[in-house]
Structure 1
C-alpha cells in the first residue's frame, strides 16, 4: 500500500484532536474503523506514530516527522487543486501588447483577436513599454528604432519586422507635392513636425540634415492630429513612416536615397505565448500595410533592401 493524502489527513486529525475517539468524531468515522486505519498506516511507515493511553494520543518522534511533512504537503495539495480548478474554468489567456506610434498595431490586433483576446497599451515611450514587458505586465511591444541603431538592450527577445524609409508628408498645394521623390536638401527652408519619442530619431534627423548641408528650422514635436493639421495648412513638413496613407489635402513624397531609415521591431517576454506565430502575423500585417500604400509599394520596386524582413 502506498502512502496517500488521506492517510496524512488521518494522522493530522488524530494529532490535532489529541485522541483517536475525538478524531473519529471529527472525521465522521467509527472509532474502531479509524483505529484500524491508523494501525495500517503505522505498519506502512514502519513504526508507531502515537503513544496512546487514557489521557489521549501524543505523537512519537516518528509521528512528529510525519506530521511536519503532512502540514506542508496537505495545504500545498489543496492549493494545487484550487489553482487547477481556477485555471480549468478561466478564459483562454490573451495577448497583451504595448505599442508606440506605428503602422501595424491595428492590423495585428485584428489578426490576433481571431484566436485569443487582445489588450493593448500605447505610449510615446519605448522605454516605458519595454520595462512593462520586462516586469511581465505586457507580453509584446511594437516599437521602432533608427535604421542604423542597434537592437535595444535588456531581457526581451527582439525581431526586426521591417526596414522602412522615412518619407515626408506635404500639403497638396506645396510646390514639391507633385514630385516623385525629393532631396532632403530641397526642404532646407521648411519647418518640421514629428511625433514624440524617447529614442534617437531627433538626433538621426539632425545628422541627416547636416549631411544634406543645412540645419533644420523649427521642429514641432506634437501628436499625430496636430502634425497633420500643420502639414495641411502648409506650416510644416511632417516626417512620416513610408506606410502612412495620407488624409485628404496631403500627399506622401519619398526622400531620395532614403537618408532616414526606420526599423519596425517586435519585442517579447521570454514566456510570451505563441512567439513564432505572433511574429509571422506582425510581418504579414506589415506586408498588407505596404500593399495599401501605393507610393511606398512603387518606391520598393526601385529600391532593394527595404520592406518586410524575410
Structure 2
C-alpha cells in the first residue's frame, strides 16, 4: 500500500482525538473500520504509530516522527490547493477586471478611467462595507483588485499574499445641513460639535474607536452615533438630526455641506490591494496609477476639499510608490 494524504489526515485525527473511538466519530467511520485502516498504514510505514490502552492511544516514537512530517506536509498541500484555485480563477489577460471597493466616489472614478486606460477590458464591480471581506475575496481569487481604506496609520486588512499600496490620504470632514448654525464657517473645531448627534457609515476597522478618542481629546463624549448607509446618513444630516462624518472627497449633495476640522484630528488612507499570485506587475502598476489619478479628479470636484488643500502649508503627504 502506498501512503496517501488521506492516511496522513487519519493519523493526525487519531493523535488529536487521543482515542480511536473519538477519531472514528470525527472522521465519520465505524471504529473497526478505522482500526483496520490504521493497521494497514502501520504495515506500510513499518511499525506501530500508537500504543493502545484502556484510556485511549499514545503516540510511539515512530508516530512522533510521522506526525512531525505531517504537520509540515498537510498545511503545504492545503496552501498549494488554495493557490492553484486562485490562479485558476484569475483571468490570464486583461479581458476581465474584477474590482471591489467600499462605497464612495473613488470606485466609480476608477472604473471610468480604466475604460480609457484598458479599453479591451470588461470591468465588473463588487461593493462591501467590510475591508476584511474585500481582502478575503482577493485572497480567494474572486477579485482582481480592491479599493479599501484604513483609519489613520492602521494596518491594512491582512491575508497571506496580498499587496496593499497607498492611493491617497484624505482628512475626515464633517457633514452639516445647509441651514446649520455653523454652516457659514470655513473650518470647525470638533469641540464646537459637542452637543451634536452623529452619523457615519459602517465598517470593520478602527474608525469608531478613533473618532471616540478624538472627541475625548476635544473634551466630550458623543451623545449618539447612528451607523447607517450613505443615503440614510445624508437624510439624517439634511433634516438636522445628526452631523455626519465623511471623507473629504464626499460629493456635493443638495442640502448638505462638508467642512474640515481644525487640526485634522482624523484621516482616512485609501488603499489598492491585489494578490501577488494572480496579478501581473504591469497591470497592477496601471491600475494603481489610474486609482491615484481618479482620486485627484474626485478631490478636485469638491469645493471644500480644494479650499482646504489650498489653505494648507503642509498638505496631506503624497501617495507612496
TM-score normalised according to structure 2 size: 0.66
C-alpha distance in 2 between matches for 1:212 and 1:123: 32
- 2:138 equivalent among 133, 138, 153: 133
What 5-or-longer segments of structure 1 have no aligned partner? Answer: 1-89
- The answer to whether 1:309 aligns with 2:314 is no
C-alpha distance in 2 between matches for 1:295 and 1:281: 23
The answer on whether the counterparts of 2:111 and 2:123 sit within 8 Å (CA) in structure 1 is yes
Partner in structure 2 of residue 84 of structure 1:
none
Instruction: Give 1:302 shift.
Output: 2.5
Q: Which moved more, 1:177-186 or 1:114-123?
A: 114-123
The structure number with the bigger radius of gyration is 1
- 1:106 equivalent among 101, 105, 108: 108
> Which contiguous aligned blocks of 4+ residues in structure 1 show a shift greater than 6 angstroms?
none
What 5-or-longer segments of structure 2 have no aligned partner? Answer: 1-91
C-alpha distance in 2 between matches for 1:92 and 1:181: 44
C-alpha distance in 2 between matches for 1:241 and 1:307: 16
C-alpha distance in 1 between matches for 2:200 and 2:317: 22
Partner SS, residue 264 of structure 1: strand
Cα gap change, 1:307 to 1:251, in 2 (>3 Å) = farther
The answer on whether the counterparts of 1:169 and 1:246 sit within 8 Å (CA) in structure 2 is no
The answer on whether the counterparts of 1:287 and 1:308 sit within 8 Å (CA) in structure 2 is no
Instruction: Give 1:223 shift.
Output: 0.6
Partner SS, residue 104 of structure 1: helix
Equivalences for 1:31-70 in 2 at 5 Å?
none
Equivalences for 1:136-147 in 2 at 5 Å?
136-147=141-152
Partner SS, residue 228 of structure 1: helix
C-alpha distance in 2 between matches for 1:100 and 1:290: 17
C-alpha distance in 2 between matches for 1:138 and 1:243: 25
Alignment RMSD (CA, Å): 1.6
- 1:278 equivalent among 278, 287, 301: 287
Partner SS, residue 250 of structure 2: coil
TM-score normalised according to structure 1 size: 0.69
Partner in structure 2 of residue 152 of structure 1:
157
The answer on whether the counterparts of 1:103 and 1:289 sit within 8 Å (CA) in structure 2 is yes
Instruction: Give 1:306 shift.
Output: 1.0
The count of corresponding residues between Structure 1 and Structure 2 is 221
C-alpha distance in 1 between matches for 2:94 and 2:306: 38
The answer on whether the counterparts of 2:148 and 2:271 sit within 8 Å (CA) in structure 1 is yes
The answer on whether the counterparts of 1:167 and 1:252 sit within 8 Å (CA) in structure 2 is yes
Cα gap change, 1:105 to 1:307, in 2 (>3 Å) = farther
C-alpha distance in 1 between matches for 2:270 and 2:210: 16
C-alpha distance in 2 between matches for 1:101 and 1:247: 16
